[in-house]
Amino acid sequence: EKRREPAPQGPAPSEVVSTAAPSSPSSAGSAGGPEARDPAPALSEGLCGRWKDKRGAVYHVQGAVDGWACSRVDASGKPHRVASLRYDESSDLVWWGGGRAMMCAHPSEVLAQSGWVRWYGSGSDWTPRSAWKWLGRA
């Protein structure tokens, strides 16, 4: 029988650290020097594939010209188009959606490849609004 793991809980605001912060090891040399790295390939490796949320919807993420394209099939099997995902260097976040429904994920969670990505509301509290569990490559 497959064991069900609970979704991770949101971090306390003090635990949320941007990888763009000057003190972050990943920001060393990010001023455009020769050692500056584009995070998009690593984020693609972590995001592209299939994910499932707590309601049973399955998300399929694939690379696109300006980020990632995402489609969703709800628990009843009905397909839906979901807004594109994009990485914003200035905020160091992966954004999903638009307007008031906009959510973001921290690249460190994607790159950790822990099997979960938490999506946070665009407000100032870091309470997860959704969590995706990794299902594998499509």
Stated pTM of the model: 0.69
pLDDT band at 124 (very low <50, low <70, confident <90, very high): low
Provide the β-strand partners of residue 130: 119
Question: Helices then strands (H, E): number in the chain?
Answer: 2, 8
Q: Which two tokens stand for residue 6?
A: 């609970």
What value does the mean pLDDT take over residues 117-123?
83
Max intra-chain CA distance, the chain: 51
| Cα separation, 48 vs 81, whole angstroms | 16
